[in-house]
Amino acid sequence: MSLVVKWYLNLSFDALVIHSRSYVIVTFLTFLKRQQRLGAADGNVDAMTSAELRNGLRGVLGFPVTPFRRDLSLDLDGLAHNVDQMSRHPFCALVAAGGTGELYSLTVAEIIDLVRVTVDAAAGRMPVVAGVGFNAALGVEIARGAEKAGAGCLLVLPPYYANPPEDGLFSYYETIGRATGLPLMIYSRDWAVFSAQQVARLAERVPSLAAWKDGQGDVRKYQRIMSYVGDRLAWLGGIGDDCVPAYFAIGVQAYTSSISNIAPKLSLQLAEAGLAKDFARLDDLMRRYVHPLYAIRDRMRGYEVAVMKQAMEILGMPAGPVRPPLANCRPQDVEDIRKLLEVYREVVEERESGESAERSPAGAGRSFR
Q: Please compute, for residue 316, the number of CA atoms within 13 A of its CA located in the half-sphere on the CB side.
A: 15
Catalytic center residues: 187, 213
336-354 core/surface letters (b: 16 or more CB in 10 A; e: else): bbbebbeebeebbbebeee
**What is the rounded distance in angstroms from the CA atom of residue 309 to the CA atom of residue 209?**
31
**What is the rounded distance in angstroms from the CA atom of residue 28 to the CA atom of residue 80?**
24
Write the single-letter amino acid at 114: L
Which residues in 75-119 belong to E strands, given as ranges? 93-96
76-104 core/surface letters (b: 16 or more CB in 10 A; e: else): bebbbbbbebbbebbbbbbbbbbbbbbbe
The neighbouring-strand residues paired with 134 are 159
Dihedral class, residue 280 (left if φ above 0, else alpha if ψ from -120 to 50, else beta): alpha
Is residue 186 helix, strand or coil?
Answer: strand
- Degrees to nearest 5, angle at CA 90 with 87 and 95: 55
Instruction: Return the C-alpha torsion angle 73, 74, 78, 80, nearest 10.
Output: -170
- Kindly tell me the burial class for residue 197, based on how many C-beta atoms sit within 10 Å of its own C-beta (0-12, 13-18, 19 or more): exposed
The neighbouring-strand residues paired with 235 are 212
* Closest to 100 measured CA to CA, from 154, 146, 63: 63
**What is the rounded distance in angstroms from the CA atom of residue 234 to the CA atom of residue 236?**
7
